Amino acid sequence: MKKVHIASINPVKVQAAAEGFRQMFPGETFEVIPCKVNPGIPPQPMGDEETLDGAERRAQALRDLYPQSDYWVGIEGGAADGKKGLSTFAWVVILSTNQIGRGRSGEFFLPKKVAELVRQGMELGEADDMFFSRNNSKQGNGAVGILTDDVVDRKNLYIPAVIFALIPFKRPDLY
């Protein structure tokens, strides 16, 4: 059984990582180990680069703490401001001893009132909870689940990004 350390104790991220590994490597067994790390990034990364950097820093911090693992996973949700509004997405970075994979989730735009709260410095999960009168939505369906009536929830937004990050591990001959 291969060990996968994930830089989160959020059950949504843990489940997404486990499902991504299961789908990409159906013949293998993985132990997914949630871990809390402090990679020194802002609570709500803004912009593509800051979000990707946050995911990489999370995975690298785990590799330093748990060098005996087979894989280290960082998942970071971010937001980006543009001409059309404030959008949100996630980056996934997966490390092994000799490989790195990166994958990005889909992206969607936030309602104006939620976007205003995030622009004022509030983390998206907190903004969702405040605006939609929820409690701890980031460990549940998240903004995407709230906005789509769970047609897509946070876990299912992250799973493809985990799969994309695993491509170099599935096809090491090409990377």
In a domain, 134, yes or no: no
pTM (2 d.p.): 0.94
Q: Is 63 helix (H, G, I), strand (E, B) or coil?
A: helix
Q: Which two tokens stand for residue 80?
A: 């980006």
Which pLDDT belongs to residue 16? 98
Which pLDDT belongs to residue 88? 97
A 10 A CB-CB count for 116 gives 14
Q: Which two tokens stand for residue 156?
A: 């299912």
Count: domains in the chain = 1
In a domain, 116, yes or no: no
In a domain, 130, yes or no: no
Q: Are 136 and 68 in contact (CB under 8 A)?
A: no
In a domain, 165, yes or no: yes
Residue closest to 44 by CA, chosen among 111, 128, 102? 128
Mean pLDDT of 23-28: 97
In a domain, 40, yes or no: yes
Domain CATH for 48: 3.90.950.10
Which pLDDT belongs to residue 23? 98
pLDDT band at 38 (very low <50, low <70, confident <90, very high): confident
pLDDT tens track for 120-161: 999 998 998 888 888 877 778 899 999 999 999 999 999 999
pLDDT tens track for 69-92: 999 999 999 999 999 999 999 999
Q: Are 164 and 90 in contact (CB under 8 A)?
A: no
Q: Which domain holds residue 77?
A: 2-109+153-174
Which pLDDT belongs to residue 99? 97
In a domain, 97, yes or no: yes
pLDDT tens track for 47-64: 999 999 999 999 999 999
Determine what percent of the chain is predicted with pLDDT higher than 70: 100
Q: Are 69 and 17 in contact (CB under 8 A)?
A: no
- Helix axis angle for 124-132 and 112-119, nearest 10°, is 140
Q: How far apart are CA 32 and CA 62, in angstroms?
A: 13
In a domain, 16, yes or no: yes
Mean pLDDT of 6-33: 97
The answer, yes or no, to whether residue 28 has pLDDT greater than 80, is: yes
In a domain, 162, yes or no: yes
